């Protein structure tokens, strides 16, 4: 053994750098490259400290040849991942949303294979395409396998797909798989149990060879022992967290009809008019300002008031747009 910290030399450093540059498939991210470099050098030092013979220092050439394998492996895990295809973007977030411990900001690109987690009192809205968005509730962990599926480790997600869009999406859980048939729904995973609340359309739940279907307004509970319970959804309490993560909307210069379509998609509520006169006024109304980020119900009140209309939101049934009462 030598009194020096190790026998790492400038020549060794240069040789390792050449090995790292020889890894194919693009230019590595500088921070990830540095982590890989330090990881390999740490392994060198550990190997040196565990060898009883001074001849260890003469094995540097052989060890660096072996290090090439380590560098290539590290490349795959540490810096090549950023080159995986982008499958979504983080359109909206509040609280703490992380990937591998790193805090994500709105606008972040989400790549295939990304692990996402939301902390308590946090949430995230992911956009895959104009026809597919995904919302993560607080305390949720997911792995985004590809553009057509994810694995829900814990927590709950809301999947929103434009009716009639040619989109295929599957939520995998420990208890089974939830497959899109044309709908908006929430999937909750808790241990080996699974819950599905359907807001619109139909979902298909696959547990082994068994298949169950749930339709709009229905809740499906599948227990660890294979038990299945169905119930009717009542009220809007289960959707409150979803509406706290509205998809972005710009209303400046847009017709009221565009906003009302957005409201209907966000809330699952049908919109109707009190009479033909109101319908005509609404068709001619052009909006100004911004309500982006507001819960849909609050945005609706502001927007209708700005064009001298009023929205009546009953507990059940359609939202009625009528003339404002002064």
Is a pLDDT exceeding 50 seen at residue 158? yes
Task: Give the tens place of pLDDT for each residue, 85-142.
Answer: 899 999 999 999 999 899 999 999 999 999 999 999 999 999 999 999 999 999 999 9
What is the pLDDT, as a whole number, of residue 223? Answer: 82
Supply the range of the domain harboring residue 294: 246-323
Domain check: are 228 and 290 in the same one? no
301 lies in the same domain as 194: no
Which tens digit of pLDDT belongs to each residue from 176-215?
Answer: 999 988 789 999 998 888 999 999 999 999 988 889 999 9
Are 165 and 144 in contact, with CB atoms under 8 Å apart?
Answer: no
Structure tokens at 225: 């022992």
User: Residue 107 belongs to what H/E stretch?
Assistant: none
Residue 126 lies in a domain: yes
Q: Are residues 250 and 209 in the same domain?
A: no
Question: Does residue 268 share a domain with residue 145?
Answer: no
Identify whether residues 54 and 132 lie together within a single domain: no
**How many angstroms separate the CA atoms of 292 and 158, rounded?**
20
User: 183 exposed, middle or buried (CB, 10 Å; 0-12, 13-18, 19+)?
Assistant: buried
* Domain's final residue, options 240, 270, 297: 240
**The domain that contains 250 carries what CATH number?**
3.55.50.10
**Residue 319 maps to a domain:** yes
Sign of torsion over alpha carbons 209, 215, 218, 219? positive
Cα–Cα dist 105/80, whole Å: 21
CATH number at residue 137: 2.60.120.1440
Look at residues 198, 221, 240 and tell me which one is the last residue of a structural domain.
Answer: 240
User: Is there a single domain that holds both residue 192 and residue 140?
Assistant: yes
Rounded to the nearest 10 degrees, what angle do helices 30-49 and 60-74 cross at? Answer: 140
pLDDT exceeds 90 at position 247: yes
User: Which of 82, 105, 121 is the endpoint of a domain?
Assistant: 82
CA distances from 271 to 101, 229, 258, 261 (A): 42, 32, 12, 8
Indicate whether 41 pLDDT > 90. Answer: no
Q: How many CB atoms lie within 10 A of CB 324?
A: 11
The pTM assigned to this predicted structure is 0.73
User: Are residues 168 and 185 located together in one domain of the fold?
Assistant: yes
Same domain, 284 and 236: no
With respect to residue 1, please indicate whether it lies within any of the assigned structural domains. Answer: no
Number of domains in the chain: 3
């Amino acid at each position: 053994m030598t009194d020096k910290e190790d026998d790492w030399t400038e020549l060794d450093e240069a040789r390792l750098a050449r090995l790292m540059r020889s890894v194919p498939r693009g230019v590595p991210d500088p921070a990830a490259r540095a982590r890989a470099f330090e990881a390999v050098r740490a392994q060198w030092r550990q190997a040196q400290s565990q060898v009883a013979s001074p001849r260890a220092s003469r094995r540097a050439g052989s060890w660096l040849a072996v290090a090439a394998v380590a560098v290539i492996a590290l490349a795959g895990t540490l810096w090549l991942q950023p080159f995986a295809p982008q499958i979504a973007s983080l359109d909206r977030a509040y609280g703490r949303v992380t990937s591998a411990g790193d805090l994500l900001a709105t606008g972040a690109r989400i790549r295939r294979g990304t692990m996402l987690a939301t902390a308590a009192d946090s949430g995230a809205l992911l956009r895959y395409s104009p026809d597919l968005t995904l919302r993560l509730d607080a305390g949720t962990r997911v792995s985004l396998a590809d553009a057509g599926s994810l694995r829900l480790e814990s927590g709950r997600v809301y999947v929103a797909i434009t009716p009639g869009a040619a989109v295929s999406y599957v939520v995998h859980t420990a208890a089974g798989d939830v497959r899109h048939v044309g709908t908006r729904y929430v999937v909750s995973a808790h241990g080996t149990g699974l819950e599905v609340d359907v807001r619109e359309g139909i979902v298909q739940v696959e547990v082994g060879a068994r298949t169950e279907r749930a339709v709009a307004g229905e809740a499906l509970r599948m227990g660890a022992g294979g038990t299945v319970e169905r119930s009717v959804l009542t009220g809007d309490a289960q959707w409150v967290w979803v509406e706290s993560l509205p998809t972005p909307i710009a209303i400046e210069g847009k017709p009221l009809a565009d906003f009302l379509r957005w409201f209907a998609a966000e809330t699952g509520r049908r919109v109707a008019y009190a009479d033909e006169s109101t319908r005509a006024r609404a068709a001619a109304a052009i909006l100004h300002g911004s309500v982006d980020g507001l819960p849909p119900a609050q945005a609706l009140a502001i927007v209708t008031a700005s064009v001298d209309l009023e929205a009546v939101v009953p507990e059940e049934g359609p939202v009625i747009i009528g003339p404002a009462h002064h």
